[in-house]
């Protein structure tokens, strides 16, 4: 890894950041392009340090064009060539360290960030006074101080020859002095799992923010929630930090479940998306309770595994939310958990939710679901389906008539005629979604077809009929 120390004016650096010429790769970064770990007070302190000429350490970046050319000329690492070629076409620099500082510069020059009151000395010897509510934004500050700020230089450690695989290592080494949390370390290891989790979080960040605080989101709390849901499926309910680390370091097993390389959504992706979409509705008493929402994911996954279809998602979610909220508000009823803890414990439900171990989660979910399942089945919110699919016998009969008793499978060896007496025999014929549910297709008769078992299995999550 070869780098040089250079300087850039504040004006140029902030302009590059504002015009999105500095790429932030989330795979080895803590925050995002728009969201800083620093609050406004911390950002203001950095601006003050620049104005006082005491700004801290250098920004660390990679020159995208130089990195591409060096890797191309060496010709031994295709991943690095492809990675930096793509970056070179859109960005000047790749940020490795300094994102919080660059966001502060951008927010001060192009936004409404204010600087602390006090006296600021110019190189000419003049003194500029900043008063509260006056002259404390970039637009209102004295012209002489503004010019001096813009023309101040920042130190930049610019890497010109580095491999793609070394970027995460460099990031972790730089941050040794600032302790990264477990999820930040996990996400810094390039893998299909890290990329899958990151993409899911970016797509549903608004939904995740319903129960995860802004500070936690900046520290990858949303990523960790998705990773724990994945670990529950992959590791039979275990979501400890040790297991999460192993899952990231050995992504093959988890990848076989979430199928990140597939064009078609996996069952995990389908359930995860439905859970996060349900959270568009306010979460009330469970706000900021990741364990409760995790319980909701597990419940949804178990229903899927048991071939229980949620006919009305809104009704199911509201019923679950109402029950959990009532348990949160109940400060009187206590539960004896001596079967879980080493000694007898009588605590209210709200205290139990704070526990994250497998036994506690199983107990909580059983308490909630035992009380609402009978009513949900009675109201038709939930229905038990056959082992082969989600379509009921009546729905299969309608599809059989619509197809004139013929299988739509295109396989030459398929027996085209479907005997009426066999339409509910899951060993031979399946109710299939033409546009699969895993891809977002709706469970409707219009989207359904009756198909031979082999053809349906070959079709998998593709749209249309089997080839």
Question: In the prediction, which pLDDT does 436 show?
Answer: 77
Task: State the residue for tokens 């990140």.
Answer: 260
Cβ atoms of 220 and 30 closer than 8 Å: yes
CA 239 to chain CA centroid, Å, is: 16
DSSP for 80-92?
A: HHHHHHHHHTT-S
Tell me what pLDDT residue 135 has.
84
457/175 Cα distance (integer angstroms): 48
State pTM to two decimals.
0.57
Cβ burial, residue 369 (10 Å; 0-12/13-18/19+): middle
Give the C-alpha separation, 455 to 392, whole Å.
19
Structure token digits, residue 333: 């009823």
Q: What is the Cα–Cα distance from 100 to 76, expressed in whole angstroms?
A: 34
Containing H/E element for 401? helix 393-402
Would you give the DSSP letter of residue 366? H
- Output DSSP code: residue 265: P
Q: How far, in Å, CA of 457 to CA of 467, rounded?
A: 11
| Tens of pLDDT, residue by residue, the chain (467 residues) | 666 778 888 888 888 888 889 888 776 666 666 667 788 888 888 888 888 776 657 788 899 999 999 999 988 889 899 999 999 999 999 988 888 888 888 889 888 888 888 888 887 778 888 888 888 888 888 888 888 888 888 888 888 888 888 887 777 777 655 566 888 778 776 678 888 998 899 899 888 988 888 888 888 899 999 999 999 999 888 899 999 988 988 888 888 888 876 666 788 998 999 999 888 766 666 767 889 999 999 999 999 888 788 888 989 999 999 999 899 888 889 888 777 765 556 788 888 887 767 888 888 899 999 999 999 999 989 987 754 556 778 888 899 999 999 998 878 878 788 988 888 777 788 888 888 766 667 778 888 899 888 887 777 666 665 43
| Degrees to nearest 5, angle at CA 229 with 362 and 286 | 65
């Amino acid at each position: 890894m070869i780098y040089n120390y250079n300087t850039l004016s504040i004006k140029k650096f902030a302009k590059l950041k504002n015009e999105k010429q500095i790429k932030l790769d989330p795979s080895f970064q803590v925050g995002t392009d728009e969201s800083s770990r620093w609050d406004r007070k911390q950002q203001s302190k950095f601006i003050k340090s620049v104005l006082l000429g005491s700004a801290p350490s250098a920004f660390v970046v990679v020159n995208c064009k130089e990195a591409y050319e060096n890797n191309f000329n060496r010709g031994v690492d295709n991943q690095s060539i492809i990675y930096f070629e793509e970056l070179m076409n859109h960005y000047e620099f790749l940020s490795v360290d300094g994102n919080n500082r660059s966001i502060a510069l951008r927010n001060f020059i192009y936004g409404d960030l204010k600087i602390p009151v006090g006296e600021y000395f110019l190189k000419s010897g003049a003194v500029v006074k900043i008063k509260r509510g006056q002259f404390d934004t970039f637009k209102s500050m004295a012209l002489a101080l503004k010019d001096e700020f813009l023309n101040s230089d920042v130190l930049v450690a610019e890497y010109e020859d580095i491999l793609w695989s070394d970027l995460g290592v460099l990031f972790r080494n730089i941050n040794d002095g600032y302790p990264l949390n477990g999820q930040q370390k996990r996400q810094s290891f390039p893998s299909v799992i890290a990329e899958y989790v990151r993409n899911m979080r970016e797509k549903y960040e608004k939904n995740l923010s319903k129960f995860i605080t802004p500070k936690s989101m900046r520290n990858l709390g949303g990523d960790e929630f998705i990773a724990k849901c994945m670990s529950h499926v992959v590791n039979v309910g275990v979501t400890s930090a040790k297991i999460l680390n192993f899952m990231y370091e050995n992504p093959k097993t988890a990848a076989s479940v979430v199928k990140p390389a597939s064009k078609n959504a996996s069952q995990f992706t389908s359930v995860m998306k439905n859970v996060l979409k349900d959270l568009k509705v306010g979460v009330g008493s469970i706000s900021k309770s990741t364990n409760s929402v995790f319980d909701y994911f597990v419940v949804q996954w178990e229903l899927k595994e048991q071939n229980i279809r949620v006919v009305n998602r809104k009704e199911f979610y509201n019923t679950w939310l109402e029950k959990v909220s009532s348990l949160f508000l109940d400060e009187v009823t206590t539960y004896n958990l001596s079967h879980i803890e080493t000694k007898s414990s009588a605590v209210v439900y709200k205290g139990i939710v704070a526990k994250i171990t497998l036994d506690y989660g199983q107990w909580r979910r059983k308490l909630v679901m035992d009380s609402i399942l009978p009513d949900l089945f009675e109201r038709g919110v939930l229905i038990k389906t056959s082992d082969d699919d989600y379509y009921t016998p009546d729905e299969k009969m309608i599809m059989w008539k619509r197809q004139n008793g013929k299988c739509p499978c295109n396989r030459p060896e398929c027996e085209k005629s479907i005997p009426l007496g066999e339409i509910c025999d899951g060993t031979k014929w399946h109710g299939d979604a033409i546009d699969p549910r895993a891809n977002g297709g709706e469970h409707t008769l219009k989207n359904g077809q009756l198909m031979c078992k082999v053809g349906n299995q070959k079709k998998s999550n593709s749209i249309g009929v089997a080839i």
